[in-house]
Structure 1
Amino acid sequence: MTTNDKYASVRYLVDDVPAAVAFYTGHLGFTTGAAAGPAFAEVFRGPLRLLLSGPASSGARATPESARTAGGNRVHLVFDDLGAEVERLRAEGLAFTGDVVSGPGGSQILLTDPAGNLIELFQPAAR
């Protein structure tokens, strides 16, 4: 077994790899990695390595159909000014699944990528 603790990797199954890459790099500050193609790409944001697996990728083919429905799982991205981030993304034409919800730990809002995967934008509560 090999270990790489430089990045935490999450795999998202997507319908259109180039559209997913454009979404994450164009709107959420991710950068592209060395692996990029029509079936698979990797994008990075800090220590997060997001694996975008299209229908032809081995990751998608290995996933049973019953596991492909999106549940409440999501990538969690932290921002210093959630309000400004929401305004910026709305100005870019992105729609959110609801409004900002605030609680004792902070505030969050959800949006989806082009394949319907959830992304949580979060601002911690002031301490």
Structure 2
Amino acid sequence: MPQDQVNVRYMVNDVKESVDWYIANLGFTEISNAAPAFADVRRGPLRLLLSGEKSSAGRPMPDGRRPEPGGWNRFELVVSDLAAEVNKLRARGVKFRNDIVKGPGGSQILLEDPSGNVIELFQPAAGR
């Protein structure tokens, strides 16, 4: 049901490259693909909308600003073994913004898709 899914939109530089990256590195599956304008992929209840500059989401705002990839907003994927995931992704050449950070709630790291959009991998602390 639509209300049981979470939709996140990312502006991307290359829709096809982004679809391939999310499938190969983070286990998403393709829902639809209208590259170069738009595609969407899914992982569990998360539907990720990948919008290129030719998509309706890529149109300039009334003040002339253009939607663009990057920034710091992100979605979080919970993993059971963060170190193993990081090692696997580093071996595939995935770019990270930082090293693993540990806090009272668990450990996290930030990685980037090919357009510079951020994804957080998070491993909850034991007992959480």
Aligned CA RMSD, in angstroms, stands at 1.8
Shift of 1:62: 5.4
Letter in structure 2 aligned against 1:28: L
Structure 2 stretches lacking a partner, 5+ long = none
1:1-127 → structure 2 map (5 Å cutoff):
4-61=2-59, 65=65, 68=68, 70-127=70-127
Q: Distance in 2 between matches of 1:17 and 1:113?
A: 11
Aligned length: 125
Over the matched positions of the two proteins, sequence identity in percent amounts to 55
- Under a length normalisation based on structure 2, what TM-score does the superposition of the two structures give? 0.89
Structure 2 residue identity aligned to 1:48 = L
| Long gaps (5+) in structure 1 | none
Larger mean Cα displacement after TM superposition, 59-68 or 96-105: 59-68
Q: CA deviation at 1:77?
A: 0.7
Instruction: Determine the C-alpha separation between the residues in 2 that align with 1:19 and 1:70.
Output: 15
4+ runs deviating over 4 angstroms:
none
CA–CA distance in structure 2, aligned partners of residues 69 and 55 of structure 1: 10
Taking structure 1 as the reference length, the TM-score comes to 0.90
Comparing 27-36 and 64-73, the one that deviates more: 64-73
